[in-house]
Chain A
Amino acid sequence: MSLRNRQFVLLIGAVLLVTGVASAWLWRHSGPSIHSWSEAEKAVLASLALESLPPLPPDPSNAVGDDPRAVALGHRLFFDTRFSANGQVSCATCHQPERFFTDGLARAHAIGTTPRHTPSIIGAAYSPWFFWDGRKDSQWAQTHGPLESPVEHGGNRTQYAHLIAQHYRDEYQALFGPLPDLSDPARFPPSAGPVADPEARAAWEAMAPEDQEAVNRVFANLGKAIAAYERRILHGPAPFDRYVAAVLAGDQAAAADILDPDQVAGLRLFIGEARCINCHNGPRFTNDNFHNIGLPWVEGDPLDQGRLAAVPHVLEDPFNCLGPYSDASPDDCQELRFMKTQGPELLGAFKTPSLRNVAETAPYMHTGQFATLAEVLQHYKQAPLAYPGHSELSPLDTISQAQLAQLEAFLHSLTAPVAAPAELLAPPSQEP
């Protein structure tokens, strides 16, 4: 090899070395950002962001659902403890504004203890189904469940109608027209309704059908006012939503300030390998559908068929969307008309809850089986067999414990202040 050729080879070698070192340095210092997402992933992120939630559509079954007078009446009713058996229980007893409208208990405790865990009402107005098993198809009809449950408010419909007549006559009549004349205690006993208490039940059964119907109408309207209030309790933007906005704007520096690397890794798992998004999808992180996920059966509990038992209940409910107390036309009742009524997957199935504010609303699942998010995530990793029915889960064998911790970190980014006028988050008497 000539000298000239040898020099050439050395020079080539030196250049390659310098280039290699320079490339490595550049790669390390401005290499692949954890905040880089593919276009398809960005579309998924956008689909989860609150920005993609449309304004709350009207509830056709509730003609006063968006009437400010109904909101004001519902606000007072929501906090009014007179609507209970012992004068101490209101909706806010379990749906506590300062706890994201939950109670922090495994199972709700009012007059007694309920078989199920208190769900939040934030953003619930978007859902087609209410209660863990969806046994009510409107927010106003849902209010009837706790009001008549012996372990929640513990009261009954004529008691509530009399309370409306006594304390809210003007507000009620401005919205719904004249109250029936309830003054004859022989026709409208102080305590009557299709409830567990045998005396109240017997009194209800002794009433004339048209008198029952008049009371039912007041009972439905009471629920519609409470629902009008609840419709104003909505989700506010969380750090996750601000992160998505930054990612979609291409502002990785801003994105990095919002979620830490563990949270971003958790988000990547959430929409990918961990498959959470299969059910926790859309801007409320729920598909509003019912799934059996093989939750542990609590010893001593009766067998809970979940959605399977709720289906006939909602079909027969006189307060459903197609019933005489609904303001909807049959065309507005598509969820009920095309409701899934059979199939093995209904057994032991419960509604997918929203994950917004999930880090602040422990314990978890329909009976509060899990005290922490870590326990919840462990359940999804293991995917135990279901009883009753069959679990839709399959084990997350490839997800490590460290990745479960990243998923948990991500879930903390879904916490946000309630989006509601401040005066609605406290009892009316405390209004400024």
Chain B
Amino acid sequence: MKRATVLLVTLLTALLLAGCGGKAEAPPAEKPDMGGMEMASSGEKSPAALPPVTSEQGLFVVQATSQLDPLAINQLHSWILHVETPDGQPVEGATITVDGGMPAHNHGLPTEPQVTEELGGGDYRLEGMKFSMPGLWELRITVTADGKTDTAVLELTL
């Protein structure tokens, strides 16, 4: 009996402590229900460099790096686009157009970004980028080089 009592007192203490510990912690906050829409928290840092994406027909590999780091909404900023062939050769002298938008909201980009400068080594400066909402954005980067055109679709979440 004595041993059982000791055991029980220990158990009781442990339970109470566990109870207190659980109480002291902040409860997990409710995850916002976005009605099926992608809604990222602005608290997470979006990577400034997106992973390389191969264009739809496999002609080009496009890597986009934001010059605004971390990425943020409502700020005009530039990107550097690096374009190469699948075997790693930089694509020079390309004509590049960019559009995109938010698939969940049926709207395009809030600006009309343009490639304003070829920097060499397959790098191009894209100016006039802006994102006006948190959530999933799509960028469609259409590259024309040596008479061939292909589009790479990049996604990012803000």
Residues of A within 8 A of B (CB): 4, 7-8, 11-12, 15, 18-19, 22-23, 26-27, 30-33, 36-44, 47, 268, 271-273, 275, 277-279, 281-282, 287-291, 334-335, 337-341, 343, 345, 390, 392, 394, 396, 398
Contact = CB atoms under 8 A, between A and B. Distances in A.
A341 B130 CA distance: 14
Q: Is the interface of B mostly helix, strand, loop or mixed?
A: loop
B156 to A, nearest CB: 16
A66 B16 CA distance: 63
A275 B42 contact: no
Contacts of A36: 26-27, 29
Residue among B11, B15, B29, B109 facing the most chain A CB atoms (10 A cut-off) = B29
The 3 closest A-B pairs by CB, nearest first: A338-B128, A43-B43, A272-B32
A281 B43 contact: no
A345 B108 contact: yes
Given A38-B28, A39-B43, A390 B34 contact: no
B43 A42 contact: yes
9 contacts: A11-B8, A26-B19, A31-B27, A36-B26, A37-B29, A44-B43, A287-B73, A334-B127, A340-B110
Given A278-B133, A339-B112, 15 more contacts: A7-B1, A15-B12, A31-B27, A33-B26, A37-B29, A42-B43, A44-B43, A275-B39, A282-B74, A337-B127, A338-B76, A338-B111, A340-B109, A343-B107, A392-B106
Interface in B16-64: 16, 19-20, 23, 26-30, 32-35, 37, 39, 41-44
Contact of A281 (B30, B34, B73): B73
Contact of B41 (A7, A23, A40, A396): A40
Residue among A40, A277, A338 facing the most chain B CB atoms (10 A cut-off) = A338
A289 B19 CA distance: 49
B4 A8 contact: yes
Contacts of B5: 11
Contacts of B127: 334, 337-338
A279 B114 contact: no
Contacts of B108: 340, 343, 345
A26 B19 CA distance: 8
B148 interface: no
A27 B37 contact: no
Contacts of A37: 29
A426 to B, nearest CB: 33
Interface in B100-134: 105-114, 127-128, 130, 132-134
Given A19-B19, A339-B112, A4 B1 contact: yes
A277 B43 contact: no
Contact of A337 (B29, B35, B42, B128): B128
A97 B16 CA distance: 59
Interface residues of B, number: 46
A321 B33 CA distance: 42
Interface string B125-158: 0011010111100000000000000000000000
Residue among B23, B27, B114, B132 facing the most chain A CB atoms (10 A cut-off) = B132
A287 B74 CA distance: 6
Nearest to A341: B112
Given A279-B132, A279-B133, A337-B128, A18 B12 contact: yes
A277 B35 CA distance: 14
B114 A338 contact: yes
A8 B7 CA distance: 10
Nearest to A128: B76
Nearest to A277: B134
Nearest to A14: B8
A119 B33 CA distance: 32
A287 B151 CA distance: 29
B16 A19 contact: yes
B28 to A, nearest CB: 7
Contacts of B106: 345, 390, 392
A39 B28 CA distance: 10
A271 B32 contact: yes
Contacts of B42: 43-44, 47, 281
A31 B108 CA distance: 44
Contacts of B133: 278-279, 281, 287
B12 to A, nearest CB: 5
A275 B37 contact: yes
Nearest to A16: B15
Contacts of A281: 42, 73-74, 133-134
